[in-house]
Structure 1
Amino acid sequence: MAKKVWWISSAIIAGLAVAGVVTVGVVTQERYSELEHAPAFALAEAPERELLPAQAEGEVDNTALAARLRKLADTPDLGTFGARVTDAVSGEVVFEQNPLKALRPASSTKVLTSAAAIYTLEPTKVLSTEVVAGETPGTVVIRAAGDVWLTPENITELAEQVGTAERVLIDTSLWSGPTYLDSWDEGNVDGGYVAPMEPAMIHQGRIGADSGDVPRSHTPALDVAAALAREVGATDTGFGSAPAEAQLLASTDSPPLIHRVREMMVHSDNVMAEAIGREVALARGESPDFAGATRATLAALQEHSFDTINTSLQDNSGLSPQNLITPALLDALLLDAAQGSDLAEVLRTLPVAAGSGTLIERYEDLAGRGWVRAKTGTLTDTSALAGVVTSRSGRVYTFALLSNDAPILSQREALDTFASAIREN
């Protein structure tokens, strides 16, 4: 499959006041004003690389850092611990412990999902949800396109094009297989972590909110049909098939893929991750279900020479405790990104310590504040942190830290301290 190049315009680069590869881009939130930021990305000299991390002058002796990290890793707070830390400038592995051990990754799984999407899909790709005429007069059918980013404004846009109707059906045949994974906790829908995976949702199936871990709908696709029905005056809704040669009445587009991937990573949204996984599956000729999406994800990485040994995925979000990933694979993906490959976009999607997303309430008093940029992961007795950080010496490091079989709060504190130690080098 041809490699997709993610072009980043010079205007965007100029606006990205990112910290080497670790601080936030253009910062408008008041909360960010207190953060200390590192220097911006440097443009690469080689034409095939868009961005490179800040380059430190001269050689760096990582011996002392390695010794400190070994000491920090020797704690029961980390339980079963796997890690790899790499100097992104030289490519030297500074520290590793159980790098090839298969560990529960939780939401750090989304690093793989985002990488597969970048390799497979165009950054400007949108999903077009259409409404077509049904087989009987007065009936319209929503042809679901995998857009779980629908908003009330999208529904209004469709309604204005449709006008009036008596019956609204929704065709969800784009995706196949079960809508809910057996290994997912039954309480995850009401807990606000995921919704049954159907190819049309408003705000990822959230009930009464557009963000956050609020209860999700058990019938997200029917909710879309009901929302349109209210606006067009229809009194009947349900599932149905769109006629093959049906008249197109209305359409609305999702945000572009690049936006959707960023939102998925910053907020660690599980519905978005599963939807993007199915999008990758369809593009690669796999079945748009859990099994097909995870196969497609790993295949995309293997095609780009990443070693997926000991890696097993049941989903694309990391909700399944049966997912297994190695620290070596996570770090390899981040190292490739930090060295200026197509995956550089992954770095821009990562939450910033004490600044954004799932790290906004962490690192309040640690050296990594504003400098660590990483994907988090949390499940029962499972914590993950995988990202990049620039040290005080100006060196950029990538890291992948997976902790299993220990209490979550102590895991998080130990992981944040570990990443901050890299910053202090």
Structure 2
Amino acid sequence: MTKPLHLLLGPLLLALPLSLALNPGQTARAQPLPALVTDAALAKKLASVLSDSRVTRGTVGVVVAESSSGAELYRRSATTAISPASNMKLVTAAAALDLLGPGHTFSTDAYAPAAPVNGVVSKLYLKGNGDPTLREADLRALATQVKAAGITKVTGGVVGDGGYFDSDLYNNYWDPDDYNNSYAAQISGLTLSPSSAYAVGTVQVTYQPGSGKGKKAKLGLVPALAAGYVKLVNKTTTTSAGSGASISVRRSNHTNTITVSGRVALKRSLVKRTVTISNPARYAAHVFTRVLRAAGVDVPASPTTGSTPTVRVQVASDTSVPLSTIVTLLMKPSNNGMTEHLAKTLGRVGTKAGTWKAGAAVIRTWLAKTQSVPSTVVLVDGSGLAHRNKLTARVLVRLLQYAQTRPWFDTFYNALPVAGNPDPAIGGTLTDRMVGTAAANNLHAKTGTLSGITALSGYVTDRSGRRYTFSMLGKYSGSSPRIVFDKVGATLAGWTS
């Protein structure tokens, strides 16, 4: 089944047409220019740019290679293992495209223990299979199929089954204080997103001014059917127009009680804040229960979680968009939750365990087939949220070189953010970077940001039409070298080889 609401961002968030993503005359494949072994002038120029104190005072690994030959034209601490932040997504996405295939899809299915008798079944199992794009509209489509299967009553309620992944919902290497933040949601085999941003395992809390000064703000939820699972505590006050706003939206750990506190000014427009929820599988079962009731199916019992029995009858099924689209949806805005779904799904390749440990092992084994992987490389999640992850600039460059040889390279290349492009569906996390330089609408790369960490790895083409593959990983305690990394990108783009 297709998912029209999963395509709300339009064709720009599909495998992007090269005419939108590339300069005139440029293709995703490296240009067939004579191979370079060295470029002393370029190496000298890059060394000068990287002599900046924001680089020299930190730990920075850099490799720049000619894309067509793989020859390293510049290196600095190439084998130093540094936390890659979201550059880890390059590894996870490439592994998923290689091992699962660009056409891979995820299903979410509804099962009954047996065929309905006079329209009645004892339970309805909502079984997730790791789909990171499931939304309320998809549950409505499932409910339509349930009715079409002749089911009018579910006496024992809906059972949410997130067991495609293990019960370890929050990675042990993530900061425990991040549990409230949308970028650190719980990862379950059955989950739900509130919008086309696909922040898995979250809801959106909305607030706007109350009816008058001194009144409480008006609060809401997206999806609205989350009400009853999520409890909102309103500790807000509406203040005079123009007085500004200071709002805190915080979920109490291990609960689904979200407290909204602070002040909001009159005449302020509605604001949405994305917050994680606890137990995504139960949450999805709750929303599905309410969807079924709205569709006219009698579901008297409250939703629960559990395992789908082996003896069962399928009554409905939903299929996600293909992996090729999902990779773009996660790479452009740097979506952590979607990437963690890929990591745990990869864990089920061979070992059949949907765990972070199994996923990391599969990814490492795959990475070792692309190059020699040093023992200093550490993989503990898929998105790079954990500081414990460690990669080197050389490992990333060799990965990017390998990607160029694969049939899915155009999908991978076009999924990368494009420097200086004002359209977020193309520019992604690079929309506001390298604007007005030769790198704008040229450099395709993945950004990475954690506290004390910045990274940038990808591809850029110079004025002669020669493409470079590069990786820059930086650890710092003072000023970030990010601006210097942008200067390197612009320097490569403006170079004449």
TM-score surpassing 0.5? yes
Instruction: Give 1:73's aligned residue.
Output: 50
Q: Distance in 2 between matches of 1:72 and 1:284?
A: 45
2-side partners of 1:59 and 1:402: how far apart?
Answer: 24
- Residue of structure 1 in register with 2:26 after alignment: 40
Match of 2:203 in 1: 207
* Structure 1 residues 58 and 198: CA distance shift in structure 2, 3 A: closer
Displacement after TM superposition at 1:259 (Å): 1.2
- TM superposition score normalised by structure 1: 0.85
Q: Hey, what's the Cα distance between the residues in 1 that align with 2:186 and 2:364?
A: 23
Give the Cα separation in 1 of the matches to 2:181 and 2:377: 28
Secondary structure of the 2:109 match is: strand
Q: Matched residues in 2 for 1:68 and 1:365: separation?
A: 20
2:457 matched to 1:386? yes
Flag the structure with higher strand content. 2
- 1:39: Cα distance to partner? 2.2
Paired position in structure 2 for 1:274: 340
Is 1:395 paired with 2:473?
no
Note if 1:52 corresponds to 2:48.
no
Distance 1:85 1:111, change over 3 A: same
Distance (Å, rounded) in 2 between the aligned partners of 1:39 and 1:190: 46
- Say yes or no: does 1:337 pair with 2:403: yes
Within the candidate set 184, 204, 207, 1:194 is matched to 184
Unaligned 5+ runs, structure 1? 1-13, 26-36, 42-50
**One-letter code of the match for 1:221?**
A
Bigger Cα displacement from structure 2, 377-386 vs 337-346: 337-346
| C-alpha contact 1:336 1:343 (8 A) present in aligned 2 | no
Q: Is 1:53–1:339's contact at 8 Å kept on the other side of the alignment?
A: no
Superposed CA deviations along residues 332-351 of structure 1, whole A, max 9, x for unmatched, are: 11122345665453222211
What residue is the counterpart of 1:45 in the other structure? none
Q: CA deviation at 1:364?
A: 2.1
Distance 2:408 2:146 in 1: 41
Question: Normalization by structure 2: what TM-score?
Answer: 0.73
* Aligned counterpart, 1:411: 481
Q: Which amino acid aligns with 2:95?
A: A
How far is 1:275 from its partner? 0.6
- How many angstroms apart in 2 are the aligned matches of 1:192 and 1:241? 27
Q: Quick one: distance in 1 between partners of 2:476 and 2:362?
A: 29
AA matched with 1:298: R
Aligned counterpart, 2:319? 253
Instruction: Assess, with a 3 A threshold, how the Cα gap between structure 1 residues 213 and 315 changes in structure 2: closer, same or farther.
Output: farther
- Distance in 2, matches of 1:302 and 1:367, equals 35
Query: Quick check: 2:31–2:466 contact (8 Å CA) kept in 1?
Result: yes
Secondary structure in 2 matching 1:111: helix
Letter in 1 for 2:171: L
User: In structure 2, how many angstroms separate the alpha carbons of the residues matched to 1:388 and 1:333?
Assistant: 12
Residues 148 and 213 of structure 1, relative CA distance in 2, 3 Å threshold? farther
Show the counterpart of 2:62. 83
Aligned ranges 1:358-369 → 2 under 5 Å: 358-369=429-440
Shift of 1:187: 3.5
Deviation for aligned residue 1:57: 6.2
Instruction: State which of 123, 131, 156 in structure 1 corresponds to 2:140.
Output: 156
Distance 1:128 1:61 in 2: 49
Tell me which residue corresponds to 1:291: 357
**Matches of 2:166 and 2:334 in 1, distance apart?**
24
CA distance 1:133–1:81, shift in 2 (3 Å): same
1:230 aligns with 2:290: yes
Q: CA deviation at 1:52?
A: 2.5
| CA displacement at 1:306 relative to structure 2 | 4.6
SS in 1 for 2:481: helix
Task: Give the Cα separation in 1 of the matches to 2:335 and 2:273.
Answer: 9
Three-state SS of the structure 2 residue aligned to 1:321 is coil
Q: Give aligned pairs, total.
A: 386
Worse-matched range after superposition: 89-98 or 386-395: 89-98
Are residues 1:318 and 2:384 paired? yes
Contact kept? 2:166, 2:188, Cα under 8 Å: no
d(CA) in 2 for partners of 1:108, 1:170: 33
Unaligned runs of at least 5 residues, structure 2: 1-14, 115-119, 194-199, 205-221, 224-271, 294-298, 422-426
Report the AA paired with residue 381 of structure 1. Answer: G
Cα distance per residue 1:121-168 (max 9 Å; x no partner): 122111111111148944211111111210121110111111343411
Determine which of 144, 160, 163 is the counterpart of 2:128: 144
CA displacement at 1:59 relative to structure 2: 6.3
Change (3 A) 1:284 1:76: farther
2:419–2:443 Cα contact (<8 Å) kept: yes
Tell me if structure 2 keeps the 8 A contact 1:123–1:256: yes
Indicate the structure (1 or 2) with the bigger Cα radius of gyration: 2
Alignment check: 8 A CA contact 2:84 2:389 kept: yes
Q: Report the CA distance between 1:191 and its aligned residue.
A: 2.1
Identify which range, 315-324 or 54-63, moves more after superposition: 54-63
> What SS does the aligned partner of 1:383 have?
strand
